[in-house]
Amino acid sequence: MTPELVMTIGQDALTTMLVLAMPMLLVALAIGLLVGVFQAATQINETTLSFIPKLIGMAVAIAVAGPWMLKVIVTYTQNLIINIPSMIR
């Protein structure tokens, strides 16, 4: 196993992780922005106000993107396991 192969595997793992985290991060960002604008407009300074909308938004994001996320991680894992014999020399 060469250092280049190890770096490629690590890079693929980080890329897959970023792709899998992106839907939830974008939902949290959008909801946080909307709640922040609402708080600024109404001058409500409650720090826990954004928790419930973010929690609901994350649950919806997981319900919508969950099957796709599962497919991506299963495909990555299958490719990694299939390529193990060619990695060991």
Separation CA 63–CA 70 (nearest Å):
11
Instruction: State the angle between helix axes of 3-42 and 51-82 in degrees (0 to 180), rounded to the nearest 10.
Output: 170
- What's the average model confidence in pLDDT over 52-59? 93
Q: Is the pLDDT of residue 89 over 80?
A: no
Q: What is the pLDDT of residues 33-45, one digit of tens each?
A: 999 999 989 888 8
Q: What percent of the chain has pLDDT over 70?
A: 100
What residues contact residue 35 under an 8 Å CB cut-off, 6+ apart?
A: 49, 50, 53, 54
Please name the residue that has the structure tokens 């106000």: 49
